[in-house]
Structure 1
C-alpha cells in the first residue's frame, strides 16, 4: 500500500488542489484512494461533497472531528465508519474509487 501525504504549514500553497487532483487522477488510473481531510477549512471535503449534504448527512457524526471527539468520551470510533464515497466524483471514475473521510469546520476550535 502506497501512502502519499500533502503537508505544509503555510497557507495558500495549493495543498488542497494538489491533494484533490492527485487523488482523483490515481483513482482514474484504477487505484483505490482514501483522502483524509484534516484541514479545519474543509476545502477538500467541500470539493467532493455539497455543503448542504455535509450539513444534513455528515456534520453530526461522519467527520474526522467525530473521531477526535470520540476519544474524549472513552468510546473511540473506527475510522472505517467515517469513510464516504462521493457519488458525483466516483461517477466519473471508470475503474478505481475515491473515498473520503470528511473534515469539520469545528476543528478550528481544537
Structure 2
C-alpha cells in the first residue's frame, strides 16, 4: 500500500482535544481501512519526521441513520488510529497552533 494514502485526515472532537491535553499526547486520525498498524506508523514517520511511540486502531462499524425517507441509511465504515507521541514531542495541525508554539 502507498504510504501517502494511509492517513486520510485528522479527527477533531471533544474527546480528541482532551487526549491532546494530557501529559502523554495522543492524536486521532482516520486511516485507510486496509492499513495495518505498521503501515500507519511508517506513514506517520514519513509525514511528521519522527516515529510514534504506540499505535492503537479501532474499527467504527456503520450504524443506521435517519434519512427522512422510508428506508433508513447507514453511516460510513471508518478505521480510526489513536497515535501516542513520545514525551516532549508535539505536532501542530492548525496555523494558529503553529504560531502559538513559535511564539513560546
CA radius of gyration, larger in:
2
Q: Which has more strand, going by share of residues? A: 2
TM-score by length of 1: 0.26
TM-score by length of 2: 0.27
Higher-RCO chain (CA-CA 8 Å, sequence separation at least 6)? 1
Q: Which has more helix, going by share of residues? A: 1
